[in-house]
């Protein structure tokens, strides 16, 4: 079957927009079945402190790589995963990164697009 012979597709119910910002990222959506259309913010569940998950309107664009044993058992556990990841993103990453900036990745998008940076160099922790 070619595209010219394909049956018309059904319009999707949801229209989703993602802002991958340098400081914060956010997700918004519109339910096209509603009238009038309203843009809504999708709340992003994330760690805000050790072992504490909350849904927030934005996800701070921060990645924190803790040292082995730095955070206690369960500190990075997420409710949708059986295993703890080896890193933290969002609010908790921003807060931990203030304590150990050498383990924090922030503004990676800006650095990687800077003409004076070797994009293949091991810049990130």
pLDDT, tens digit (0-9, with 9 covering 90-100), for 58-112: 999 999 999 999 999 999 999 999 899 999 999 999 999 999 999 999 887 676 6
Structural domain boundaries of the chain?
12-112
Q: Give 120 or 52, the one with higher predicted confidence.
A: 52
CA distance 68 to 86: 9
Q: Give 2 or 57, the one with higher predicted confidence.
A: 57
Do 29 and 19 form a contact (C-beta atoms < 8 A)?
Answer: no
28-50, pLDDT tens digit by residue? 999 999 999 999 999 999 999 99
CA distance 107 to 63: 10
């Amino acid at each position: 079957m070619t595209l010219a012979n394909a049956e018309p597709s059904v319009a999707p119910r949801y229209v989703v927009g993602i802002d991958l910002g340098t400081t914060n990222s956010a997700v918004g959506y519109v339910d096209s079945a509603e009238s009038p259309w309203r843009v809504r913010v999708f709340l992003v569940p994330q760690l805000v402190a050790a072992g504490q998950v909350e849904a927030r309107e934005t996800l701070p664009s921060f990645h924190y790589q803790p040292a082995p044993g730095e955070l206690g058992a369960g500190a990075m556990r997420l409710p949708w995963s059986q295993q703890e990841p080896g890193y933290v993103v969002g609010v908790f990453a921003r807060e931990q990164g203030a304590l150990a900036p050498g383990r924090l990745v922030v503004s990676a998008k800006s650095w990687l697009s800077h003409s004076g940076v070797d994009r293949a160099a091991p810049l990130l922790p």
